[in-house]
Structure 1
Amino acid sequence: MVKLLQCVLLTCLLCFAPLSWAKADFSVLLVNPSVSGEPFWQKVESIAKAASKQLNVKLDVIYGDGSRYIQLAELQKYLEYRATPDYVVLMLYPGNAEQHLDLLEKYGIQYLTLEQTISGPEQSEIGRPAQRYKNWLGEIYFDNFRAGADLAQALTESLRANNPGAKPQSIAINGHYGSESDARNQGAQSYFGSQGVALQQSIYASWSKTQAMEKTQRLLKRYPDTNIIWSASDLMAMGALSAVKQRAAKEQAFVAIGGFDWLSDTLRLIEQGELQASVGGHFIMGGLAILSLYDRFHGHSYWQTHQSITYPLEVISQQNVHRYIWLADKTDWTGVDFSQFSLLKNKQAQYLVSPAFLAKDNP
């Protein structure tokens, strides 16, 4: 009788064991191109982990430390000394994309790339997914040109609402010389040009808050009537805000400032009226990559017939920040249902994903 009860108890424990005890369906290596804890890429990583947990995927993470050389070395070391993952998800750095792809092809691993970072002759050399590199399933990226224009529009409208009659005078702060930053800036130039907004100068600040502050200080001396500061990242926008605040009291006037990334500090600054806009939601790309690999593993043909997944970014401004402010304190993403976008589940032909699904009417 005792043995029978023990068997029954063991059976119950196995039946109701946590999902984490179950063997994962497949494994993914996520290559975080930055350092552990960096605000934007930490969100990408956290969402990828949440999606992996929901979908029973084993996820490992390594870091590129913001260097294309370190990223390649870390990837090579992982593949040499660890079990080969079923898939790899990574962002390619301009300058050595070919070496990354050659390495992954050598190990016969299928992979997805995040963001569309390679352009010009280097892009021509590596080709498109599944052309020269047969294990390259596709790219997941967003329309940076449109997003840059959307930010320019939000800042122009904010200026006109807060300082009616003011002649818009803008400056632009880019990240670095590369396709992502340049596409955003080209979108801004297109919008400003269509609206007759003077773009006095565009500069590069290497995605650095400190550089953006120092360069904005110099630009404000050169263009004291500046009232719009467009930035390719929130960190640089916050650097520009610091420069504006340091001006003499007699020079204080409303300046519309905004960037990209939906950083937690940025959302609070928008809520307080110190920054005017942030374009973002692109951090969902990690979760979307895991989801699309889940669909592929379970038999969906999307990556056999498509080379990319693209989606629009969203603008957070003072008009809608109340619907997104809950994201400022969000660190645990396990409650966000990514499976709702599964093509296996919703029977759609395309991934109809937008960061707007994160908005809440009652945060």
Structure 2
Amino acid sequence: MRLKIRLILLMLLTLPFMTIAKQTVLFVNPSVVDDPFWSKVQSISQHAAQQLGFKLDVIYGEGNRHIQFQELKKYLEYQKTPDYAILILYPGAAVESLKILEKFEVPAITMEQTISGEEKSQIAGPGEDYKYWLGEVYHDNYQAGYDLAKALHSVSNKKSNLTAVLINGHYGSESDMRAKGAADYFSSQGIEVAQEVHGSWSETLSTEQTLKLLKRHANIDIVWAASDLMAIGAMKACKIACADKQNIVFGGFDWLSVGLENVARGDTHASVGGHFMMGAWALVSLFDYHHKHSYWSEHRELVIPMGVITKQNVNNYSWMKNSPNWGLIDYRLKSLHLTDQSQYQLYLIPEIWQKNKR
């Protein structure tokens, strides 16, 4: 009897020091470890995970659909099954990825809308053919592409008879929607799109392609690019080949530090961004789902906002160039479970920074 009482007392005394097991979220980074954009998405996600009580496991897709699927398969088969997963569906591997998550019964949120055409019809929508696919966190790529085109037009010194070229990313829905938004804006303004090429998100490849475009098209006024790095690559090509580079305006996506520095100097002219918060938003919504909030049972998407930075407002965003501590944002204040909000309050940067620092 005394022994039993002692054991009970020991348990009561040690209970406050016992570690409560955290839920594990598998974050599938589709790129490589040092990718400038995806490393930022991952870093912000790690801050959010820590505040929300998640353990974040990370694997890398190395920019290849086959490698990403094999890494996902290996993790699920040889590691303890995670409680949740966050990933991008690579074109050509969407069905296999969703099937294996279904097999291991892992509720998942996908980032971006990357699948189109026949493959899109094969996977249907979240919660339809794959019940563990909770929903999509993404931004409006069409509107973002449109807004970048509009911003570049507004800063061009030449106001009529303009010619643009588009340097897109890879072949996929995300890139296609960005380019379609740009093409529609240019068409509405009577701006000719001389050619669209794909730069696979590479600065080097963009430089090579732009050199060819400059030889092929004599009067390029606007170079619209689907990433900051490709815009910088195009700008470098113009420095090599253009007698008067001031006549061409360049712009891209991602709000990279190097991109903002180039906008501040006037080497490039606009950058669209804010979507590096998508991993954090996915985690906030998973936190709510874990705590039985109804959002993902009533919705299939969470669309996050994006904004345009130009020379006129770049100083308002200068703090982002110096690797800010994204952990200063209180991600728990974004939770529907922990607040009385009925909908997610989706702020643009720097609004989220200013309103939600501890």
Q: Normalised by the size of structure 1, how large is the TM-score?
A: 0.89
The residue number in structure 1 matching 2:118 is 121
Matched, 1:290 2:287: no
Per the alignment, residue 59 of structure 1 pairs with 56
Is structure 2 residue 109 aligned with structure 1 residue 112? Answer: yes
Identity %: 48
Q: C-alpha distance in 2, partners of 1:252/1:187?
A: 25
Residues 324 and 14 of structure 1, relative CA distance in 2, 3 Å threshold: farther
Instruction: Tell me if 1:75 matches 2:72.
Output: yes
Structure 1 range deviating more: 173-182 or 338-347: 338-347
Q: Deviations over 1:112-169 (max 9, x none)?
A: 111011111111011111111011111111100000000000000011xxx2556422
**What one-letter code is carried by the residue in structure 1 that aligns with 2:230?**
M
Residue 256 of structure 1 and its aligned partner are, at CA, apart by: 1.1
Per-residue deviation, 1:346: 3.6
Q: Label 1:14 to 1:228 Cα distance change in 2 as closer, same or farther (>3 A).
A: farther
Runs of 5+ unmatched residues, structure 2: 1-11
Mapped contact 2:329–2:353 kept (Cα < 8 A) = no
CA distance in 1, matches of 2:15, 2:327: 24
The residue aligned with 1:247 is 241
Distance 1:264 1:158 in 2: 21
CA distance in 1, matches of 2:151, 2:188: 14
Q: Distance between the aligned counterparts of 1:275 and 1:248, measured in 2?
A: 15
Is the CA contact 1:24–1:57 (under 8 Å) kept in the aligned structure 2?
no
Q: What residue in structure 2 maps to residue 92 of structure 1? A: 89
In structure 2, distance between residues paired with 1:303 and 1:216: 43
Q: CA deviation at 1:313?
A: 1.1
Q: Which letter maps to 2:98?
A: L
1:39 aligns with 2:32: no
Q: CA RMSD in A?
A: 2.1
Aligned counterpart for 1:152 among listed residues 132, 145, 149: 149
User: Is 1:178 the counterpart of 2:172 in the alignment?
Assistant: yes
1:86-132 deviations in whole A, cap 9, x for unaligned?
A: 10111110001111111111111111111011111111011111111
Unaligned ranges ≥5, structure 1: 1-10
**1:337 pairs with 2:330:** yes
Partners of 1:265 and 1:24 in 2: CA distance = 40
User: How far is the alpha carbon of 1:201 from its aligned partner?
Assistant: 1.3
Q: 2:281 aligns to what SS in structure 1?
A: helix
SS at match of 2:197: strand
- Cα distance in 2 for partners of 1:39, 1:334 equals 18
Partner of 2:198: 204
Residue in 1 that maps onto 2:184:
190
Supply the distance in 2 between the matched residues of 1:230 and 1:350 (Cα, whole angstroms). Answer: 34
CA drift of 1:222 comes to: 2.1
CA contact (8 A) 1:46 1:331 kept: no
Q: 1:111 to 1:146 in 2, by over 3 A?
A: same
Give the residue type in structure 2 aligned to 1:244. Answer: C
Q: CA contact under 8 A between 1:277 and 1:315: conserved in structure 2?
A: yes
Give the TM-score taking structure 2 as reference length.
0.91
